[in-house]
C-alpha cells in the first residue's frame, strides 16, 4: 500500500486558493463525523479530512460503506456553498460531476451519475456521496462525504453483482500495476474546487454536463418517494436537478429527492 501524499494534496488545494487545509489520518470511524465534531468546537469551513481506513463509514439512510484499508479514497470536506441555503442540495450534484470529471481525467474510464448521489461504472456502483447540513461554530455549513472504491480487486461476497472499483474496470496494464490514489485525489480536489465556481456561475450548465453522464436516462425504475412506491421511465433530469419520471399511468412527475431508486427490467 502506498499511502496518500498529504503534501501533494495540500499543494493542490493551495494552488486552487480559498484557504483549504488537508489532513490525512491512518484510520477514523468516519471522516464526516470527524468534521462534525470539529465544527462543534471551531469554524470547520475549508477543512478536508482523508482517512486511509474507515471503521464506521456510511452512505444515505445510514447504510454502511464497505472499504478496504489503504485501497480506497475516503474523505469529507466542510464548505459554505456560494448559493442561498435552499439551493444547498445542488452541492451533491456538482460534486458528483466533479468526481466523474476527475476519473475521466486520470483513467481511461467513463463513469456515470446515478441520480441522486452515486457514481457507476459498467452498471455497478463505484462511489457514493453524502451531503449533510450541520449547524456549528460560525453558522450552518455543508459536510460533503465521498467514498470511492479505488485499488481493490476483491469485493465482499454479495457485492460483486452490485459494486466495482476503479481498478477492476481499468484495462491492462493499469489493472495489474494498480492506481496512484494520490494522483486521482489531486484531480478530485481540483475539480471539487472548480465545482464551487460552477455553482456561482449557474446551475443549468452543471446539469447539462450531468445529463450527458446520467446512468438512469431512459431506464425503467422503481423508486420510493416520501414513503410511496412509484414505477416509471426516466425521461429527463431538468435544469433544477430534478428527476423527471413518466409513470406507468402516463403522469409526468419531477422529483427533487427519493429514498431509493432502482433500475428494473422492462
Contacts 24+ apart (CB under 8 A), 233-237: 234/115, 236/211, 237/115, 237/207, 237/210, 237/211
| Same domain as 243, residue 153 | no
| Same domain as 146, residue 35 | yes
> 85 in a domain, yes or no?
yes
| Same domain as 243, residue 199 | no
> 170 in a domain, yes or no?
yes
> 11 in a domain, yes or no?
yes
| Secondary structure class of 144 (helix, strand, coil) | strand
| 8 Å CB contact between 142 and 81 | yes
Q: What is the mean pLDDT of residues 36-56?
A: 96
**pLDDT tens figures, 80-94:** 998 898 899 899 999
**SS3 helix, strand, coil % of the chain, rounded to 5?**
30, 30, 40
Pairing of strands 47-51, 21-25: parallel
Q: How far is Cα of residue 36 from the mean position of the Cα atoms in its chain?
A: 18
> 190 in a domain, yes or no?
yes
**pLDDT tens figures, 120-145:** 999 999 999 999 999 999 899 999 99
| 8 Å CB contact between 45 and 138 | yes
Look at the chain and report how many structural domains it folds into: 2
| Same domain as 248, residue 202 | no
Task: For residue 66, name the pLDDT band (cuts at 50, 70, 90).
Answer: low
Closest CA to 202 of 98, 82, 118, 92: 82
**Res. 48: pLDDT tops 70:** yes
**Res. 65: pLDDT tops 80:** no
Domain ends where: 191, 211, 231? Answer: 211
Domain span including residue 176: 6-211
| Secondary structure class of 47 (helix, strand, coil) | strand
Domain with 73 in it: what CATH number?
Answer: 3.30.930.10
Task: For residue 50, name the pLDDT band (cuts at 50, 70, 90).
Answer: very high
> 1 in a domain, yes or no?
no
| 8 Å CB contact between 244 and 223 | no
| Same domain as 256, residue 176 | no
Domain ends where: 211, 237, 254? Answer: 211
Q: What is the mean pLDDT of residues 53-71?
A: 71
> What percentage of the chain reaches a pLDDT higher than 90?
84
Whole-angstrom Cα distance, residue 136 to residue 140? 6
| Same domain as 229, residue 172 | no
| Same domain as 226, residue 120 | no
Task: For residue 53, name the pLDDT band (cuts at 50, 70, 90).
Answer: very high
**pLDDT tens figures, 149-207:** 999 998 888 888 899 999 999 999 999 999 999 999 999 999 999 998 899 888 999 99
| Same domain as 152, residue 85 | yes
pLDDT of residue 156: 82
| Averaged pLDDT score across all residues of the chain | 93
pLDDT of residue 244: 98
Domain with 238 in it: what CATH number?
Answer: 2.30.30.100
| Same domain as 235, residue 160 | no
pLDDT of residue 142: 97
> 25 in a domain, yes or no?
yes
| 8 Å CB contact between 195 and 98 | yes
Amino acid at each position: 500500500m502506498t499511502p496518500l501524499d498529504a503534501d501533494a494534496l495540500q499543494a493542490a488545494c493551495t494552488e486552487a486558493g480559498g484557504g483549504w487545509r488537508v489532513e490525512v489520518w491512518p484510520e477514523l470511524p468516519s471522516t464526516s463525523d470527524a468534521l462534525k465534531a470539529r465544527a462543534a468546537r471551531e469554524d470547520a469551513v475549508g477543512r478536508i479530512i482523508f482517512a486511509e481506513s474507515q471503521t464506521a463509514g456510511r452512505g444515505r439512510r445510514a447504510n454502511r460503506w464497505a472499504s478496504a484499508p489503504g485501497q480506497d479514497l475516503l474523505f469529507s470536506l466542510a464548505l459554505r456553498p456560494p448559493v442561498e441555503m435552499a439551493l444547498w442540495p445542488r452541492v451533491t450534484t456538482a460534486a458528483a460531476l466533479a468526481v466523474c470529471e476527475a476519473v475521466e481525467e486520470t483513467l481511461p474510464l467513463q463513469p456515470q451519475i446515478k441520480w441522486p448521489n452515486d457514481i457507476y461504472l459498467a452498471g455497478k456502483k463505484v462511489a457514493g456521496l453524502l451531503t449533510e447540513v450541520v449547524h456549528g461554530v460560525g453558522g450552518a455549513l455543508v459536510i460533503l462525504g465521498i467514498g470511492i472504491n479505488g485499488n481493490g480487486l476483491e469485493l465482499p461476497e454479495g457485492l460483486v453483482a452490485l459494486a466495482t472499483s476503479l481498478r477492476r474496470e481499468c484495462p491492462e496494464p493499469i489493472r495489474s500495476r494498480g492506481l496512484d490514489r494520490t494522483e486521482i485525489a489531486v484531480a478530485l480536489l481540483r475539480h471539487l474546487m472548480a465545482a464551487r465556481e460552477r455553482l456561482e456561475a449557474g446551475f443549468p450548465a452543471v446539469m447539462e454536463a450531468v445529463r450527458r453522464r446520467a446512468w438512469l436516462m431512459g431506464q425503467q425504475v422503481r423508486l420510493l418517494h416520501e414513503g410511496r412506491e412509484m414505477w416509471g421511465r426516466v425521461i429527463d433530469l431538468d435544469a433544477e436537478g430534478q428527476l423527471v419520471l413518466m409513470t406507468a399511468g402516463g403522469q409526468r412527475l419531477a422529483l427533487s429527492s427519493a429514498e431509493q431508486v432502482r433500475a428494473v427490467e422492462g
